[in-house]
Amino acid sequence: MASVSEKLMFYHIPKTGGVWVKEAMRKSGIPNAGVPNISKMGHPFGLKREHATYEVIQEEYKKDKFSFCFVRNPIDWYKSFWRFRQAGGPARSQHSGRYDFKFPLDICGDNNFELFLEKSLALFPEGFVTKMYKYFVGENCDKVNYIGKLENIREDLIDVLKQSGEIFNEDVIRNYKKINISTKIDLTINKDLEKRLLKTERWVTETFYKE
């Protein structure tokens, strides 16, 4: 479920540090709890309740809340997702780790990371990460008040909490250990594939990572 505190609404995009964010908030003195996913609209991304978005949460929970989420560099997002799926146990087949095929990208499951990416590019020519991020934040990033980056998660979370007016222990946020980390599997991508992937996900890079 999305998470709410007295002043905040946090939308948890998969594989962007959301578990850490919720736990770090609690440890720093900000109680937060899941918001019921009450709408019957469902999730076109097959997302679980902890990843509820603006559209599926009743207005009473969103009213007067400062909303925020985090995003991640698309290449690192794909790596994290692939590692997460591969590390869950014995493979169901020679091609699919622990893909459950409820999340759309699971159909691209492959024990070879580059083949997984090739399938993703073929099935989601608009960019899967781009499509998912837009689902959460909107085409013009107008569905949430603040979009932080995983690469700067501690400082961005502190910024969010200060802007919202929450009272919290800043030192706890700065020093809270990383959690829910995917198994470290070294991954490399050939330059051509990396170039094509970044071109496909250019909305993400130009919107959030343009220097």
pLDDT band at 90 (very low <50, low <70, confident <90, very high): very low
Cα–Cα separations (whole angstroms), residue 27 to 10, 32, 145:
16, 10, 23
Count of domains observed in the chain:
1
Q: Tell me, what's the pLDDT at 86?
A: 83
Q: Tell me, what's the pLDDT at 99?
A: 64
CATH number at residue 85: 3.40.50
Read off the pLDDT of residues 93-131 as tens digits, 9 standing for 90 and up: 444 456 666 788 988 988 899 999 999 999 999 999 999
**Domain residue limits at 23:** 3-208
Cβ neighbors of 33 (< 8 A, separation 6 or more) are 3, 4
What's the rounded Cα separation, in Å, for the pair 127 and 89? 28
What's the rounded Cα separation, in Å, for the pair 61 and 64? 9
